[in-house]
Chain A
Amino acid sequence: MTGAFASRHIGISPDAQRRMLDGLGYESIDALVKAAVPASIHSAPRASSSIPAPATEAEALAELRALADQNRPARAMIGLGYYDTFTPSVIARNVLENPSWYTAYTPYQPEISQGRLEALINFQTMVTDLTGLATANASMLDESTAVAEGMLLARRASKAKTNVFVVDADALPQTKAVLRSRASAVGVHLEELALADGATLPDELFGVFVQYPGASGRVWDPSGVIDAAHVAGGLAVVAADLLALTLLRSPGSLGADVAVGTTQRFGVPMGFGGPHAGYMAVRQGLERQLPGRLVGVSQDADGHPAYRLALQTREQHIRREKATSNICTAQVLLAVMAAMYAVYHGPEGLRAIATDIARKTEALAQRLRDYGQSVHHDAFFDTLRVTVPGTARTVIERARAKGYQLFWADEATVGISVDETTTAEDLAIVAWAFGAPEADEHDVRSVPVEGFAPLSGVDAALRRVDEYLTHPVFHAHRSETAMMRYLKLLADRDYALDRGMIPLGSCTMKLNASTEMAAISWPEFARVHPFAPEEDVHGSLAMIEQLETWLAEVTGYDSVSLQPNAGSQGELAGLLAIRGYHDANGDTERRVCLIPSSAHGTNAASAVLAGMTVVVVACDEAGNVDLDDLRAKIAAHESELAALMITYPSTHGVYEQDVVAITQAVHDAGGQVYVDGANLNALLGFARFGELGGDVSHLNLHKTFAIPHGGGGPGIGPVAAKAHLARHLPSHPLAQRADHAGGVRFEGGPVSGAPYGSAGVLPISWAYVRMMGSEGLAEATGAAVLAANHLAARLREHFPVLYTGENGLVAHECILDLRPLREQTGITVDDVAKRLIDYGFHAPTMSFPVAGTLMVEPTESEDLDELERFIEAMIAIKAEAVAVAAGEWPADDNPLVNAPHTAASIARDDWTHPYSREIAVYPVHTLVRAKYWPPVRRIDNAYGDRNLVCACPPVEAFA
């Protein structure tokens, strides 16, 4: 292999590759992949590449250090939803830097995810307690998109027959920009009003959005506005600062229907914009309207409490174009960190942090007034707006020269936000920047904070008096030892990549290398505000430009935006770019989006959010787009055709032969082609989306480009487009630079709160590409395709492999058909998935895209031993099923239907089953050394959805 790192990333040794190739009958991996990928789309080799030759791990770290050194560290006091915070070291080391937490997948197999599910229940409880609302989900992508989702929820739930949504004039500027973009796509009319100044609401509205406290820092009582919204038949969506809520009345107590926001300041680094977990909470009765993941409490087969994802039928993977949202990957790892911050500090600790911040802000306000400055509001929590006629730029520069970043609101106004890390010395220097008088009788070195009361200008009626975070979990883990052990206890409950392969189809659970993860914790990348001045972030901007260039090259596109925080958001941005393109051409009636029936649910949900109409295209028995049906659907909608969305290779793991004909047909009819890049790991280095007819795609950096899945986020879903669409890619009003790589300016509306999305984890993908080089990326693809074909070849005599393509080959994943097994033996795909847990595996994807099947994607990072271990387990499980059919064990009492088996279940004195305990938990001898013990038996899903409980159960429930 070319680079040293490639041999660390790719698990199959050259020797093993040789044996596997021999088994398949191919001379080389190159020959194998070229036999699988249709010749019509093979990439021609490039004369030159923007991607440098592979760096070693040490070299990559040195280059990252050099990029970091181009960022100028500063004390960020810009506010606007992003605040510096102290990440407790115990959380940094044991969560953020712990592969047991960051290499886990979304908890679709709840029995092996109880650790992070509990952490997420803690998160949900933290949010419901602080917001005073009944139910919270387990995370939104950021505050701005959460407000947009709140707007859409209000429209679904309101009975008012109008499309008017009122927006607080004092909302965060980035939120207003995101709202404009989302509203115009779906025909919502926004009306911006100065709500805190008493502006009258229109008679017709379906909802009102309030920022609490306002972006200006102003604390005011929105209950009058909320009541007026209700009278008009609308819902009230309140974006609330969670830390402020420890001191201020909750949105729920003020009558809000929905509360949204971010949890970033609960110990999650700003990261130059992300990732952070957003939150959404709703009042009782709106639970089924919640977007995203919702963790609930149910029970397992032994009647013990167990956590699971509840009400999944709301979500895109089931309800598709009727889903409550297109969100799939969320921000789980960051939600876990924020929840643990609350667990570690407890209510008293959080209140103390908030009180300290509020007092410091009072002290600063007084010092500024002493200097003759005009502070706008008397009622504030952590943020001040100061009038400095004509000299805002001067103040900002004076502060910056001392290493402090303030917010330039306009030429006469400066904004300052105080946070957990602000010291009394910081306050003094900031005040000085406003111009200390000649005879400064104050001690310039620090601002005394004692003697100042928090929220002194805030009406007593708005002060919080009720208790919150009363559950014992927020009180029991306050010493570092206790916290460390709690985190270990939960991590040990989960099955992540640090235990074994997670062969989930289209999830690409490859290695998240330690060197890739190293730089995200460096303060030069982590403690950076997304709206920091351009001069302070040259390193981050250079990394972004490089990554944009590399990703454009490998996909055959011209421009890339890294702004979307997940594949779903990349899809939305791509579809909005298509829409913008058609509108710019005067083709405003082009709104039909053709989507194959096999597509991932987010495709349909995203199309709806882009204001398009979904028309489903049939797939043939081989799982490929039915070209005849495609032509018929195109003909039926020719003048209204906006786009076709296809996944390549398909969700069935096949490189469709007809892809060029498919894309051509769409182009001939005036439509654009969106290629879903989720399966790029099967193509990278051998073919490019831009060369097979794609006009725009999203990529999943948390799949193909090594960002860890984090248990359900963070993710990054860059959108890549051809030159004719590039103008319509997302821009951002507060971006440091208007131009992107290649000097291209994007003009589409933003899809994230931060200009470059979750920039904090971009170093991971940067390092992956830097250490693999172009050849390494192609090697990874080859090894991934080899591994999948090896599994298919070895297992096809036991389970039919659905949908093969050229030469009987699959791409990077294969679908095993378990329906014949069910017919013969009664054993279901669920039984097999749960029995795989006993064998020490995370099941492959169940029943998608075809019900009753398993979709298996091993990735290039697994070694041959692990692949063989999986093959052995599947063969053994089939034998067990056959034994059931033969009557060796009863249909209702056998190792499969009783799976998974916990330690507790076999430690009982009364073992009454017709099979031994050894067969139950050690069906294969190698497990004795490396056994994963599931903490719960099979979970009752129906019970959990019928009895919805989404907050921490009382401790007695676990007795």
Chain B
Amino acid sequence: MTDLNSLSYTEEHEWIERSGDVATVGITDYAADKLGDVVFVDLPAVGDTVTAGDVCGEIESTKSVGELYAPVTGEVVEVNTALDDDPSVINSDAFGDGWLLKIRGTESVALLDRAGYEAFTGGAA
């Protein structure tokens, strides 16, 4: 079970878990809930370079599309290919098996801690 307090968060409702210079990125359950049933995820390719704050992908539900903003600048080292077959895991396990991609890099957008994220969502997270 992921310790939500150990993660960092962005104002685009993403979470980051750091391990050395690699950041694992996903969206929060709050965001997944707002999107509804996720049906498709469009992620960058392994080897692509992404820039913190820029759109690098999309998450589609039946009724809306959410843009995925790269929280970190760097090289994409891994993407969660399991999402091709079953994107619904983003809804059921947003902080665990619903992870999206891993980026090698350190420069990031402004990050919030758990308390800061909960305040940002007005306590709804």
Please give the residue numbers on chain A whose beta carbons come within 8 Å of chain B beta carbons, in ascending order.
288, 311-313, 318-319, 322, 941-942, 944-946
A942 B39 Cβ-Cβ under 8 A: yes
The 5 closest A-B pairs by CB, nearest first: A942-B37, A945-B39, A941-B62, A313-B65, A313-B60
- Neighbour of B64 across the interface among A313, A942, A946, CB < 8 A: A313
**Is the C-beta of B87 less than 8 angstroms from some C-beta in chain A?**
yes
Binary A-proximity of B22-52 (CB < 8 A = 1, otherwise 0): 0000000000000011111000000000000
What's the minimum C-beta distance from A398 to chain B, rounded to whole angstroms? 59
Which residues in A have their C-beta under 8 angstroms from that of B39?
A: 942, 945-946
In the assembled complex, the Cα of A944 lies from the Cα of B60 at a distance in Å of: 13
In the assembled complex, the Cα of A632 lies from the Cα of B60 at a distance in Å of: 33
A313-B60, A942-B88 in contact; A318/B40 too (CB < 8 A)?
no
Which residues in A have their C-beta under 8 angstroms from that of B62?
A: 312-313, 941-942, 944-945
What's the minimum C-beta distance from A601 to chain B, rounded to whole angstroms? 12
Which residues in B have their C-beta under 8 angstroms from that of A313?
A: 60-65
A319 B37 Cβ-Cβ under 8 A: no
Which residues in A have their C-beta under 8 angstroms from that of B61?
A: 313, 942
- Chain A CB count within 10 A is highest, among B36, B38, B60, B62, for B62
In the assembled complex, the Cα of A319 lies from the Cα of B58 at a distance in Å of: 12
Which residues in B have their C-beta under 8 angstroms from that of A311?
A: 60
In the assembled complex, the Cα of A336 lies from the Cα of B39 at a distance in Å of: 29
Which residues in B have their C-beta under 8 angstroms from that of A941?
A: 37, 62-63
In the assembled complex, the Cα of A312 lies from the Cα of B40 at a distance in Å of: 12
Which residues in B have their C-beta under 8 angstroms from that of A945?
A: 37, 39-40, 60, 62
Instruction: Kindly report which residue of chain A lies nearest to residue B66, judged by CB atoms.
Output: A313
In the assembled complex, the Cα of A533 lies from the Cα of B60 at a distance in Å of: 50
Range for the number of chain B residues in contact with chain A: 10 to 19
Which residues in A have their C-beta under 8 angstroms from that of B64?
A: 313, 318
A319 B88 Cβ-Cβ under 8 A: no
Which residues in B have their C-beta under 8 angstroms from that of A944?
A: 62
Q: Can you name 25 A-B residue pairings with CB atoms under 8 Å?
A: A288-B40, A311-B60, A312-B62, A312-B63, A313-B61, A313-B63, A313-B64, A313-B65, A318-B64, A318-B65, A319-B65, A322-B65, A941-B37, A941-B63, A942-B36, A942-B37, A942-B39, A942-B61, A942-B88, A944-B62, A945-B62, A946-B39, A946-B86, A946-B87, A946-B88
Instruction: Kindly report which residue of chain B lies nearest to residue A323, judged by CB atoms.
Output: B65
In the assembled complex, the Cα of A946 lies from the Cα of B83 at a distance in Å of: 11
Which residues in A have their C-beta under 8 angstroms from that of B63?
A: 312-313, 318, 941
In the assembled complex, the Cα of A312 lies from the Cα of B61 at a distance in Å of: 9
In the assembled complex, the Cα of A545 lies from the Cα of B99 at a distance in Å of: 61
In the assembled complex, the Cα of A149 lies from the Cα of B105 at a distance in Å of: 39
Which residues in A have their C-beta under 8 angstroms from that of B37?
A: 941-942, 945
Q: What would 12 more interface pairs be, CB under 8 Å, given A318-B64, A318-B65, A941-B37?
A: A311-B60, A312-B62, A313-B65, A318-B63, A319-B65, A941-B62, A942-B37, A942-B61, A944-B62, A945-B60, A946-B86, A946-B88
Which residues in A have their C-beta under 8 angstroms from that of B40?
A: 288, 945-946
Instruction: Kindly report which residue of chain A lies nearest to residue B36, judged by CB atoms.
Output: A942
Which residues in A have their C-beta under 8 angstroms from that of B60?
A: 311, 313, 945
Which residues in A have their C-beta under 8 angstroms from that of B65?
A: 313, 318-319, 322
What's the minimum C-beta distance from B52 to chain A, rounded to whole angstroms? 21
Instruction: Kindly report which residue of chain B lies nearest to residue A846, judged by CB atoms.
Output: B63
- Chain A CB count within 10 A is highest, among B38, B63, B65, for B63
- Chain A CB count within 10 A is highest, among B37, B39, B60, B87, for B39
What's the minimum C-beta distance from B98 to chain A, rounded to whole angstroms? 15
Instruction: Kindly report which residue of chain A lies nearest to residue B61, judged by CB atoms.
Output: A313
- Chain B CB count within 10 A is highest, among A311, A312, A944, A946, for A946
What's the minimum C-beta distance from A583 to chain B, rounded to whole angstroms? 31
In the assembled complex, the Cα of A773 lies from the Cα of B61 at a distance in Å of: 47
In the assembled complex, the Cα of A945 lies from the Cα of B40 at a distance in Å of: 8
In the assembled complex, the Cα of A153 lies from the Cα of B7 at a distance in Å of: 40
In the assembled complex, the Cα of A945 lies from the Cα of B39 at a distance in Å of: 6
In the assembled complex, the Cα of A311 lies from the Cα of B64 at a distance in Å of: 10
What's the minimum C-beta distance from A183 to chain B, rounded to whole angstroms? 26
In the assembled complex, the Cα of A319 lies from the Cα of B60 at a distance in Å of: 10
Which residues in A have their C-beta under 8 angstroms from that of B36?
A: 942
Which residues in B have their C-beta under 8 angstroms from that of A946?
A: 39-40, 86-88
Instruction: Kindly report which residue of chain A lies nearest to residue B87, judged by CB atoms.
Output: A946
In the assembled complex, the Cα of A288 lies from the Cα of B65 at a distance in Å of: 12
In the assembled complex, the Cα of A534 lies from the Cα of B48 at a distance in Å of: 59
What's the minimum C-beta distance from B37 to chain A, rounded to whole angstroms? 3
In the assembled complex, the Cα of A590 lies from the Cα of B37 at a distance in Å of: 40
What's the minimum C-beta distance from A174 to chain B, rounded to whole angstroms? 34
What's the minimum C-beta distance from A423 to chain B, rounded to whole angstroms? 52
What's the minimum C-beta distance from B89 to chain A, rounded to whole angstroms? 11
In the assembled complex, the Cα of A311 lies from the Cα of B63 at a distance in Å of: 9
In the assembled complex, the Cα of A313 lies from the Cα of B36 at a distance in Å of: 12
What's the minimum C-beta distance from B47 to chain A, rounded to whole angstroms? 15
Which residues in A have their C-beta under 8 angstroms from that of B86?
A: 946
Which residues in A have their C-beta under 8 angstroms from that of B87?
A: 946
In the assembled complex, the Cα of A293 lies from the Cα of B40 at a distance in Å of: 18
In the assembled complex, the Cα of A318 lies from the Cα of B36 at a distance in Å of: 14
Which residues in B have their C-beta under 8 angstroms from that of A318?
A: 63-65
List CB contacts (< 8 Å) of B53-82 with chain A: 60-65
Which residues in B have their C-beta under 8 angstroms from that of A319?
A: 65
In the assembled complex, the Cα of A311 lies from the Cα of B61 at a distance in Å of: 9
What's the minimum C-beta distance from A108 to chain B, rounded to whole angstroms? 11
